[in-house]
Amino acid sequence: MTGISPREANRLFTGPIAFVKSAPTMDDLPPADLPEVAFAGRSNVGKSSLLNALTARKGLARTSNTPGRTQLLNIFDVGEPAVLRLVDMPGYGYAEAPKKMVDAWKRAVFDYLRGRANLKRVLLLIDSRRGIGKVDEDVMDMLDSAAVSYQIVLTKTDKVKESWVSKLREDLPALLKRHPASFPSLLATSSEKNHGIEELRTAVLGAAKDEAGI
């Protein structure tokens, strides 16, 4: 992997970041001229809070107590000039959403995963209190089918005992071995306590640099 210093990553993600647009379909996406790193996860996994912590901002991504609020692909340029993009993907697993809406989300997400050549990695967020559930494994299978590299990021680790996080670290690699597109290491984070955010910044920048040569 390209050598990335935490200082370099911190400087980038606390610097200029611009919201580009919300895209309901592939046709609405900006040109594929920058490496992209996408964030995916169940509704209410803490994705918006983690994006805000990643970028040291309170309101970059909207947070809500209502699961399923993010219904579009939300695009952010990082750096000035921009060197990479963050893509906030719609949450999945929200049973109360109308079926037509869920189907539209799935189509937009799968089209994006399959057709976006500049997508370098998906960060798959897992609530550390729940671990990986069936719906998460279904998404992992979809990522494997689309041949998109992805990495597990545990969220809300401040809500569980450290011993439980250690157990997840021990148990998950065996599961990841069964998924060919998965990245071998996982990250543990808490947006509330700012734990693991420096490592997350380094991983995001490293994913973009590794495969794009920026």
Q: Read off the pLDDT of residues 77-89 as tens digits, 9 standing for 90 and up.
A: 999 999 999 999 8
Query: Could you please report the per-residue DSSP string of 33-45?
Result: -S-EEEEEEBTTS
Name the pLDDT band for 155 (thresholds 50, 70, 90): very high
Which residues, listed in sequence order, are joined to residue 77 by a DSSP beta bridge? 18, 85
Give per-residue pLDDT as tens, 7-65. Answer: 999 999 999 999 999 888 888 999 999 999 999 998 889 999 999 999 999 878 765 44
DSSP single-letter state for residue 196: T
Residue positions counted in the chain? 214
pLDDT bucket at 212, cuts 50 / 70 / 90: very low
Q: What is the pTM of this model?
A: 0.89
Q: Considering just the CA atoms, what is the radius of gyration of the chain in Å?
A: 16
For residue 203, give the nearest of 185, 180, 177, 191 by alpha carbon. 185
Report d(CA 17, CA 201) in Å as an integer. Answer: 13
- Taking the domains of the chain in order of start, what are their residue ranges? 6-212
Topology of the domain comprising 6-212: Rossmann fold (3.40.50)
Across 48-69, b (16+ Cβ under 10 Å) vs e yields bbbbbbbbeeeebbebeeebbe
